[in-house]
Structure 1
């Protein structure tokens, strides 16, 4: 096996491990939100313009939620870039266009951060549309 093939396989293994950690974090976040009274409507909502990890409802509020797992909560928060926020906002617009019955609800963008302790940290209204 050449070094190039080995390096490619290591990169693939890291990507697979990161995806597994991300899925675990999303699952933990979803259960945490359920315990707080949220109803999870959709997980991994994908469009051509972006993806939303979780879409949830609590009372009269529809939440578009980004989940980030990093070594610390601060690193997780820093990983939600303005570019990513813009993609999530565009994906939320697509969701609302496809599910017009949710349009009358209040809407917000939340984040669930998971650090080394795996205890989720929920930030309501983590960012706003401009």
Structure 2
């Protein structure tokens, strides 16, 4: 079970990622989209693209870089949830799967990896 501190770190990272993406011109459509047992952290739009974003936040890199934490199983779950969203919204444009890595610290570092999950 995740501790409240772990959840708070994740939520803080998602908030920082959303602000970061908005500054880059993305429109936040949905936060924490749930389909079945899977959650997509952010669903954003830019031009004719819907982008499903997995946010990974770390307060330390002792266990690796945040972007390395997206497992094959997590990717499959994200794809299934994305299919649900695409179907339910009747989306016919382009689709992409990105990762935003947030490293917390005195000055948080944020990296955006486009088309990172495939």
On whether the aligned pair clears a TM of 0.5, the verdict is yes
TM-score by length of 2: 0.89
Post-superposition shift, 1:49?
Answer: 4.1
Structure ranking higher in strand proportion: 2
- Structure having the higher Rg: 1
Over the aligned positions, Cα root-mean-square deviation in angstroms equals 1.7
Larger relative CO (CA 8 A, sep 6+): 1 or 2? 2
Please name the residue that 1:78 is paired with.
68
Q: Does the residue aligned with 1:51 lie in a helix, a strand or coil?
A: strand
Residue of structure 1 aligned with 2:83, choices 85, 93, 100: 93
CA distance in 1, matches of 2:37, 2:104: 31
Structure ranking higher in helix proportion: 1
Runs of 4+ displaced beyond 4 Å: none
How many residue pairs align between the two structures? 114
Post-superposition shift, 1:75?
Answer: 2.3
- Which blocks of at least 5 consecutive residues in structure 2 are unaligned? none
CA distance in 1, matches of 2:109, 2:93: 29
